[in-house]
Amino acid sequence: MKAYSIDLRQRIVAAVERGMPRHEVTVTFRVSLSTIKRLLVRKRRNPDDALAATPPPGRPRTIQAEHHAALWAQLDAHPDATIAAHTDLWNAAHGATVSQWTVGRAIRRVGWTRKKSRWQPPSATSRPERRIGNG
């Protein structure tokens, strides 16, 4: 689920501060009562920058979107290699130590699948360039 825009957050807080009942705010802006409460608490704790979006939780990905082209080239060059072999190739080429799970998730993220004994790029209808940007 995507975060609410800053503009919407500001309009919600402004509506409550103007005196609009919270139930009416939930109906007007189509947000939950919990969202309104959370925004008001954030505004009260830090009035200057309270409504800015927070970064998503968790660690950043080890193999990020800018590395997908390199992974794609590696999969093209070694279509018969297993995930373990691709992990070894990736670690040797990039001087990193990533697990097989990390490489496997990155391969799925770029859309490649394993057909019989070979890795296959996604079909032309799945548009991998769209998936790479969202991954």
Q: What is the pLDDT of residue 126?
A: 58
Domain that holds residue 116: 65-134
- The CATH number for 44's domain is 1.10.10
What CA–CA distance (Å, rounded) separates 80 from 74? 11
The more confidently predicted of residues 21 and 57 is 21
Identify the CA nearest to 107 among candidates 1, 93, 78, 92: 78
Q: Which value, in Å, is the radius of gyration of the alpha carbons in the chain? A: 22
Contact 89, 73 (CB under 8 A): no
Same domain, 74 and 125: yes
Same domain, 85 and 127: yes
- Which pTM was predicted? 0.54
Q: Taking 80 as the threshold, does the pLDDT of residue 120 lie above it?
A: no
Q: Taking 70 as the threshold, does the pLDDT of residue 15 lie above it?
A: yes
What CA–CA distance (Å, rounded) separates 68 from 73? 9
Listing DSSP states for 61-111 in one string gives PSS-GGGHHHHHHHHHH-TT--HHHHHHHHHHHHT----HHHHHHHHHHHT
Same domain, 85 and 109: yes
pLDDT digits (tens, 9 = 90+) for 101-118: 999 999 998 888 877 666
- Count of alpha carbons within 13 angstroms of residue 89, beta-carbon side: 18
What CA–CA distance (Å, rounded) separates 26 from 7? 16
The more confidently predicted of residues 30 and 96 is 30
pLDDT digits (tens, 9 = 90+) for 25-84: 999 999 999 999 999 999 988 887 778 877 778 988 889 889 999 999 999 899 888 899
Question: Which of 58, 74, 93 lies at the terminal end of a domain, its last residue?
Answer: 58
Place of tokens 């009942």: 21
Q: Which phi and psi angles does 118 have, rounded to 5°? A: -125, 150
